[in-house]
Amino acid sequence: MEEKVSLEHYGILLQAEEEVEALQKATKERIIKDWLPRYTGMPLEKFGKYILLVNFSHYIRMFADKHDVPIYGVDRPMQAATAEDITIINFGIGSPNAGLIIDLLEAVKPKAVLFLGKCGGLRNNKNRVGDLILPIAAIRGEGTSNDYLPPEVPALPAFALQKAISTTIREYEQDYWTGVVYTTNKRVWEHREDFKKRLRDLRCHAIDMETATIFVAAFKNRMPAGALLLVSDMPLQEDGIKTEATDRAVTARFAEMHLNIGVDSLKQLINKGLTVKHLRFED
C-alpha cells in the first residue's frame, strides 16, 4: 500500500515538473519571438536558416551591398540582412550580447550559426595580424556561459561546421591556425601583468569576448555553432595593442576575405558540398 502511494506521489510530482517546464518553454518562445524582431527590426519570416554573427556594422554593409539586399535595424541595437537563406546579424560586443542573440535565434531554429569575430593573437612567435584562427575549443573565462551549463561542460564548436570552414579556407588558398581561444568578459586587461601571465601559462592561441559563450549557449539551445576568428592585434607584444588606426587597417585588408569565407562556408552546408575528403593525423 505504501509503495503504491509512493509511486502515485512520484507520478504527480513528475507531471507537475513537466507542466512547469512546458509553461516555461511557452513563455520563452513568446518572449523571443517578440524580442528578435524588436532588437533587429527584421520580421521573423525574413530570417534565413543559416546565421552569420558579427561584431561590426561594416560586415553587414559589405554583405548587403554584395547581395543587393536591404539592411534592417539601422535604428535598433542590432542590424541584420538576409540573402540566399543566410542572415547576417551584428549583435554587438561581449559575452552577454553573445548569449542574448543565441537565445533569441531559437525563435527561428537555425540549422547553423557561424561567428566571424576578431581576436587578439597570443602566440608571438607564430601569430601575426591578419591570420585566421579556427578554434577547436574555447576556455570559459567570461562567466556568462555558466548561466547555460555547468563549468565542467567544455565549450566546443560543431565539428561539421568547422570542417566546412576549413575546406573553404583552403579553396581561398589561405592558411589558418587551429587552437584554443580564451574568452574573457573584461575588455581592458592589457595593463595587467598577472592576467597576461595566465594567458601565457594556458598556451591559448587567441583571446576574445564571445566565442566560448556562443559555443556553450548554442549547445544548450541545440544549435550547431562554429567560429572563424581574424587576428586583429597582438596584445602581448610591445606596441601590439589595437588602436582605431590599426583596426581600420586590418579591416581594409582582411575583412572582406573573412566575410566571404564565412558566407561560402555556410553555402557548403546549404548545398551539401563535400568538405574534408581525407583526414591524416601525424605525431
pLDDT 10s digits, 144-182: 999 999 999 999 999 989 999 999 999 999 999 999 999
Bridge partners of 52, per DSSP, are: 88, 114
The confidence band for 218, taking pLDDT boundaries of 50, 70 and 90, is very high
Over range 236-255, report the average pLDDT.
86
112 - beta bridge partners? 50
Is a pLDDT exceeding 70 seen at residue 283? no
Instruction: Say if CB 53 and CB 118 are below 8 A apart.
Output: no
State which CATH number among 3.40.50.300, 3.40.50.1580, 3.30.365.10, 3.40.50.150 fits the domain covering 2-270: 3.40.50.1580
Vertex 97: Cα angle to 135 and 145 (nearest 5): 60
CA-to-CA dists, residue 244 to 100, 107, 129, 241, 275, angstroms: 27, 36, 14, 10, 37
191-199 contacts, C-beta under 8 A, 24 or more apart: 196/235, 196/236, 199/122, 199/236
Give the residue with greater pLDDT, 231 vs 271.
231
CB 244 within 8 Å of CB 208: no
How far is it, in rounded angstroms, from Cα 137 to Cα 162?
11
pLDDT tier for residue 239 given thresholds of 50, 70 and 90: confident
Share of the chain above pLDDT 70, in %: 87
Residue 114 pLDDT level (bands cut at 50, 70, 90): very high
Query: Alpha-carbon distance 15 to 19, whole Å?
Result: 6
- Cβ pair 210, 169 in contact under 8 A: no
pLDDT of 141 strictly over 70:
yes
φ and ψ at 206, to 5 degrees?
-155, 165
Q: Give residue 80's pLDDT.
A: 98
d(CA 116, CA 231): 11
Written as nine digits, the cell of 280 is 591524416
Residue 46's DSSP bridge partners are none
pTM above the 0.75 mark?
Answer: yes
Determine the average pLDDT of the residues in 228-255.
Answer: 88
Q: Work out the mean pLDDT of the chain and round it to a whole number.
A: 89
pLDDT level of residue 280 (50, 70, 90 thresholds): very low
Q: Give domain limits for the chain.
A: 2-270
